[in-house]
Structure 1
Amino acid sequence: MPPRRSHKKSRAGCRRCKTRKIKCDEVHPRCGNCLKHGVACDFENPDVLADLQTTAASPSTPGSTADYLSPVVRNAVPSFSSVPYNGSSSTHPLYRAPSTPTMSVTTPMSHRLLELKLMHHYTARTCKTFTFTAPVTEDIWKITVPSLAFSGSQHLADAILAVAALHLRSLAPNDREMVRASHAYMAASLAEYSATLARGINDTNAESLFLTAALIAFQSTASRVFTKDELILGPQGAEDESRRDGLPSDKPRHPSAGCYVIPFAWFHSFQGVKAITAASWQFLRSSSVVTQVINSQAVLQLNFSNGPDTFFGHLLDGLEAELSAMARPRPPSSPPDPSASIDDLIPSTRQAYQHAVAVLNWAHKIPHKGAPLAFPATVSRRFIELLEERRPRALAILACFFALLKSMDGVWWLQGMARREVLGVVSLFNSDFFGPDAYAEWWPHLEWAMRIALYEHVGAAQGVPIPAEVWGADWFAEEEALGRQAEGGSYFRHIEMLSQMVGGGGSVPPVPE
């Protein structure tokens, strides 16, 4: 074996070769490596040395430059047309987690300008769309919320930019840049929001988590305007299973193509706001920002009598007969039901329906105050299960809720929502899912919702109310009457009770699907 050739170590190489940890040929005035790559060499330009030393002192690691890259740079988010959506959060582009950069990248000027454009639009216009029923909170959404984001809340900052991009997209539906931006920023916000929740809620992050949850709920609601998920491309339905009470199963095995899909993201996201409020109330109750947002909402005053004298009392007609059918013994050949026992299910079902109808009755009186939006946040988990099971009564209640949104048809993210969703829900009664007699049986309970959904509300943009003879109530007269009945004018009592039920270490709300 020949003797090993001696190697002479040298420290005279240029700084760039040392940074890259490669051998420098030490050729002056420009070394071979720098010449090959077409970069400046400190041999010929000593001024480069200071820049190289700064770069070497700031290595690309998580928590440095990469953390501040725009999600538009971090994520290569595809358009809807290139990503199949099957209802799962793992395949929807809105919920793709951002990838981790492997090298330091300078944010292109175009993306810096995009973020400036989005933030400007948010503070100038978008923030006002959160406060159309409570102008007193405009400074919170316009000034305080961005300030909280700038103080270190990345999930809140990304959520702000996401809703601003969605608003701009509504003004220019074919702007592909805004489509990508709205998805990318919300994906980044959801990823960081989930990671923060996993680390735990405390006094330093509770406020920003609450506000991010509210913006996620807004995004989930507003996104419905742009999605086409009522069309499920799948094989024609196989036979549905039967329930022991004679009603259809919780869902068909293979939904028919073109079948309307209930926007459960509304309920999941608004329920998430409720859950995080209850879980972190020990911190939020002393926040002037959160308490002002909460107290700006219309006072929830529910009448649980729900008799025939209430506007939506008819939605409970025949409820006891339906509950009795649930209690019928199963045929010996029927498989055991893995769900909750009937002793628990019947009272929870009754309460779910009664509470949902009570919320409708309250919201019907003061819809211009944003009261209908309390419905997806306040209904019980059991009611959402009844919707998942496609119970006719639950769907009729849902149609009436969507009809209430007609009162806010002048708001960009709710425009056309009532018509679209009511027609979608009613289409289920016209399908083969419930049988040939369902439409005639439930039409008396759907007639008001259809009439309101199809009403041409020409004064919506100017805030002109729907005539009382069409709507069924005088908004402003009812508002005055409810104002006299209000005690304290606050949601605090309701939230205090809810937070006690959740407990100090309550469950963390899930990320909306």
Structure 2
Amino acid sequence: MTSVRRKWHLKSRNGCDTCKMRKIKCDELHPECWNCIKKGLRCNFKSLRPIAVKEPPDIELEHLEHLELLHHFTISTASTLANESEIRDLWRVWVPQIALSVRYVLDGVLALAALHKARYNPGRRESLEARAMEYHNASLARALPLVTHPNRHNGAHLFLFGVLTLLFSLAKPRSADDIFLVGGGVVPEWLYLLRGIDTVIEAESAIEASPISLIFRATNPSFEYWRSHEPLEHDALTALKANIRARAHAANQKTLLDAVEALQRSFTFRSRDTLQFQHKMRGFYTWLYDVSDEYLKLLRQGDCEALCVLAFYSVLLKDLERHWWLEGWAVHLLQRIYLLVDEEHQLWIRWPVEEVGWVPPCVPNISYQT
């Protein structure tokens, strides 16, 4: 009797479970074996397919830039914005938290951080300054429609926006022919911004209950002293008042003299060595809040006497130039004023010119006869 030889096949234990239960040879095709497909059975190969791992999307370059600048703000820029540790912590911790939920604050933070970073990265300075301006413009576009209507929900955010915008306006690059004055007049842009911040504070009392109030609350005693003290005599300011009484138009004299009297109060802070720097700073910029709208109107009109008063203020700006965002402003302002006033009024401001250390340009086409 001839024996029937069984068909040879490769031994394997890798078949599907369904074929094993049916005790037939599995062809081990994936994702489903042919035996299961023919019979319409469920093949467990299908459930054993490796799960496709979805690669996370690439982080957009703009988001990386946000992270870079926000990191720079928290570890570097924030520490330059205040002298007191409590207020530094506010800038370093609380402000970035607000920025993550309020876009116009975020744009303001990124703009200021980009300007600060540009100072220490010559190779990237041009690109960082360009990006800073883009963030600044975006912040303005989002916040300005809200500024006229502060409320308890956005008051602190708008105040913060105002401070960031002020710092940016002071810190942004300047050139020799930079027209930094508002509306073709002669009022620095940052002066309007500073007075606008004060308006927001007065309009919304909820700001005083927020952490951001630390920025001005810490120096409130200096403000009270500015209001109440008897200002010291100052020879150069006394001479300025005498010139105003002798030369200024009668209708403008009170406005001009009031501005000088207020400036004399701020100069008292300059002469008091016992005051800490942050209190001197509050005493200096209180003048910007105190001067009248009538005085600002004279500045816009290019009134020479009003410009001379502002020239004296440049001396106080010079004392504040330890802050990077104020560097160069004293000379920049004084130079602009000097070129706007006539020769007589140039003599009025000899003291601030000498005190700041600026050398006026030589008068051209002067011939000397022997």
Q: What TM-score, normalized to structure 2?
A: 0.69
1:232-381 aligned at under 5 Å gives the runs: 262=186, 264-280=188-204, 282-287=205-210, 289-297=211-219, 299-300=222-223, 301-302=226-227, 308=233, 312-322=237-247, 325-327=249-251, 347-363=254-270, 365=272, 368-369=277-278, 370=281, 371-381=283-293
Q: Output the CA distance in 2 between the equivalents of 1:352 and 1:202.
A: 32
Aligned residues: 295
Q: Output the CA distance in 2 between the equivalents of 1:293 and 1:306.
A: 25
C-alpha deviation, 1:292, in angstroms: 1.7
Does the CA-based 8 Å contact 2:118-2:128 persist in structure 1?
yes
C-alpha deviation, 1:354, in angstroms: 2.7
- The residue number in structure 2 matching 1:139 is 89
- The residue number in structure 2 matching 1:230 is 178
SS where residue 221 of structure 1 aligns?
Answer: helix
Per-residue CA deviations over 1:104-162 (Å, capped at 9, x if unaligned) read: xx996221111111001100111112103x33311111101111222x21111111111
Identity over the aligned pairs, expressed in percent? Answer: 21
Distance 1:112 1:384, change over 3 A: same
1:472-487 aligned at under 5 Å gives the runs: none
C-alpha deviation, 1:206, in angstroms: 0.8
Q: Output the CA distance in 1 between the equivalents of 2:296 and 2:229.
A: 19
Greater Rg over alpha carbons, structure? 2
Structure having the larger proportion of residues in helix: 2
Q: 2:98 aligns with which of 145, 148, 156?
A: 148
Q: 1:164 aligns with which of 89, 113, 120?
A: 113
Per-residue CA deviations over 1:64-119 (Å, capped at 9, x if unaligned) read: xxxxxxxxxxxxxxxxxxxxxxxxxxxxxxxxxxxxxxxxxx99622111111100
Q: Output the CA distance in 1 between the equivalents of 2:253 and 2:128.
A: 47
Amino acid corresponding to residue 421 of structure 1 in structure 2: L
Distance 1:208 1:119, change over 3 A: same
- The residue number in structure 2 matching 1:425 is 337
Amino acid corresponding to residue 368 of structure 1 in structure 2: F
Q: Output the CA distance in 2 between the equivalents of 1:348 and 1:437.
A: 21
- The residue number in structure 2 matching 1:197 is 147
Q: 1:439 aligns with which of 346, 359, 362?
A: 346
SS where residue 167 of structure 1 aligns?
Answer: helix
Q: Output the CA distance in 1 between the equivalents of 2:338 and 2:250.
A: 24
Amino acid corresponding to residue 258 of structure 2 in structure 1: Q
Amino acid corresponding to residue 190 of structure 1 in structure 2: L
Q: Output the CA distance in 2 between the equivalents of 1:406 and 1:159.
A: 26
Q: What TM-score, normalized to structure 1?
A: 0.51
SS where residue 127 of structure 2 aligns?
Answer: helix
C-alpha deviation, 1:364, in angstroms: 5.2
Provide structure 2 residue ranges, at least 5 long, that are not aligned to the other structure: 1-50, 359-370
Amino acid corresponding to residue 402 of structure 1 in structure 2: S
Q: Output the CA distance in 1 between the equivalents of 2:263 and 2:99.
A: 35
Q: Output the CA distance in 2 between the equivalents of 1:349 and 1:231.
A: 25
